[in-house]
Structure 1
């Protein structure tokens, strides 16, 4: 019997340790998300149909070779609207997640490092998180009107406090580390301590949090547009397509099924990838495996 077997040490898997259990499902999710992302990126360049073209003669057509997903009540090509909607929904998701991460990281670094700011900042964050995103969106639309900026603001405001709490918790733990105290005792500039010694240690949890923020933002945009407080109705997004098709759901269920399927696959894929990243980047989970 070999020494490895005798000691009971687990075999070394090399790079495979970064692939969590059930990584095949995560790979499938990544493939689905890649296909949807490519369709959003290059689909509008190769699709001849105009998602805004109204054709009353071809209204409420069933799926066919000419109209893959059929047409809506105005005769617009549903397939073209779903593909263009993927670009809109993913753009909103990525932009709002990026804004939440940047703003939340900056405030979280300052709140976690400077004790005097901690109490004030966290009470403000608690107050912001107490406001439901739907109520906030309705109020913003009433003041500014339905537009992309309003939707981004309505998504970012409830989300970035979660990033602040995450980064603050990491910084509070790092603040007690010996190398940080040594840097402070050597009169190292504060900005260098934050950027060089602390910020890199927040990247792993921020990557995981960012994936979930994208999924949440895509879903929130669809909900807001469905309720009529999101993007303008003429903008093709999955929420708007579903909202327009709900009146004719009984006779043409595909008007809701196809954009709903794309929305569900996108959110599910992003969440599965986020779970895989969490399992791969969390040292506790890696040790347990």
Structure 2
């Protein structure tokens, strides 16, 4: 009898070709393209000031202008670039660290138990409170957001890896490798880690959604990206003060934020269906 196996890469590619996955991929890809082309679409940069302050939406300033006469759309595109760069770097780092921490229990049971208790402590902090604590230690700004997103994601990735470890540690091929004298780190990376990749990859997409909202929440309270550098959360923070005078100042960045989160959610749902049909 021939046993057919599906490569993980082909399974993920098939998930992204489903209607839900394709819609999410096109949405996130389109937003990423806009962020990448921000210097072309807004050649004046994100800090170029015009003559009219708090002007309503018009062509080419589709989101109007801010209190200094700057194009809100241009600042939103640069802010979108900031958000995508932030979650694109922080979430994979969190995934790698969290997965290794979750699998560390295979090397030492006591170490694994200690790590899980530490992850439980992190899990007890709401994301905003955790971000505020990080900002108070390292100072408000990009690095505070990066560290907060990395730390906040560790429990989810660590628990997924721990679950895979517990389900695979007593399998025959793992026990046989131990009997043959294969080093435990090699067994962990070669035999146990591949079984943890499916849920971890799904969680990466979910973690990016959480990272986007964590950035916006911290920037709204003034502990995220600092002016004049834009981010979607920072634009919402400033725009709320002028909501009655210029509604698009808030509605424009909020629309981009929701579209980004929605696209990432569609991708995570499609990947989850591929992993757990």
Matches within 5 A, 1:225-264: 225-264=219-258
Question: What pairs up with 1:154-165 in 2 under 5 angstroms?
Answer: 154-165=148-159
Instruction: Report the Cα distance in structure 1 between the residues aligned to 2:12 and 2:188, rounded to whole angstroms.
Output: 30
Residues 12 and 271, structure 2, Cα contact 8 Å, conserved in 1: no
Which residue of 17, 24, 27 corresponds with 2:22?
Answer: 27
Q: Please tell me whether residue 136 in structure 1 is matched to residue 133 in structure 2.
A: no
Range moving further from structure 2, 154-163 or 23-32 = 23-32
Give the equivalent residue in structure 2 for 1:91. Answer: 85
Residue aligned with 2:37, SS: helix
Is the CA contact (8 Å cut-off) linking 1:113 and 1:172 kept in structure 2?
no
Residue number in structure 1 paired with 2:94: 100
Residue from 28, 53, 57 that aligns with 1:59:
53
What corresponds to 2:144 in structure 1? Answer: 150
Is the partner of 2:188 in helix, strand or coil? helix
Number of aligned residues = 268
**189, 192, 203: which one pairs with 2:186?**
192
* CA shift in 2, pair 1:17/1:94, >3 Å: closer
CA positional deviation for 1:19: 5.2
Q: Residues 199-254 of structure 1, C-alpha deviation per residue, up to 9 Å, x if partnerless?
A: 11111111101000011101110111011111113221000111111111122111
2:142 and 2:225 in contact (8 A); partners too: yes
Determine which of 29, 33, 40 is the counterpart of 2:35. Answer: 40
Q: Report how far residue 46 of structure 1 moved.
A: 4.2
**Which segment drifts farther, 24-33 or 219-228?**
24-33
Deviations 1:248-270 (A, max 9, x none): 11221111111101100110110
Q: Distance in 1 between matches of 2:60 and 2:112?
A: 60
Q: Is the 8 A contact 2:168 2:174 kept in 1?
A: yes
Regions of 4+ moved over 6 Å:
15-18
Q: Which residue of 1 aligns with 2:177?
A: 183
Which runs of 5 or more residues in structure 2 are unaligned? 1-9
In structure 2, the residue corresponding to 1:72 is in which secondary structure? coil
* Contact 2:106/2:188 (8 A) holds in 1: no
- Write the distance in 1 (CA, Å) between the matches of 2:180 and 2:164: 22
- Preserved CA contact (<8 Å) 1:49 1:77: no
For structure 1, the 5+ residue unaligned runs are: 1-14
* C-alpha contact (below 8 Å) 2:63/2:248 kept by paired residues: yes
What do residues 24-51 of structure 1 show as CA deviations (whole Å, max 9, x unaligned)? 2332221111100111122224421321
Q: What is the match of residue 5 of structure 2? A: none
| Larger mean Cα displacement after TM superposition, 82-91 or 36-45 | 36-45
Larger radius of gyration: 1
Where do 1:2-17 residues align within 5 Å? none
Separation in structure 2 between the aligned mates of residue 253 and residue 234 of structure 1, nearest angstrom: 20
Q: Do the aligned residues in 1 keep the contact of 2:141 with 2:223 (CA within 8 Å)?
A: no
Distance in 1 separating the partners of 2:225 and 2:200? 28
Compute the TM-score of the two structures, normalised by the length of structure 2: 0.90
Contact between 1:70 and 1:78, CA under 8 Å: does it hold in 2? Answer: yes
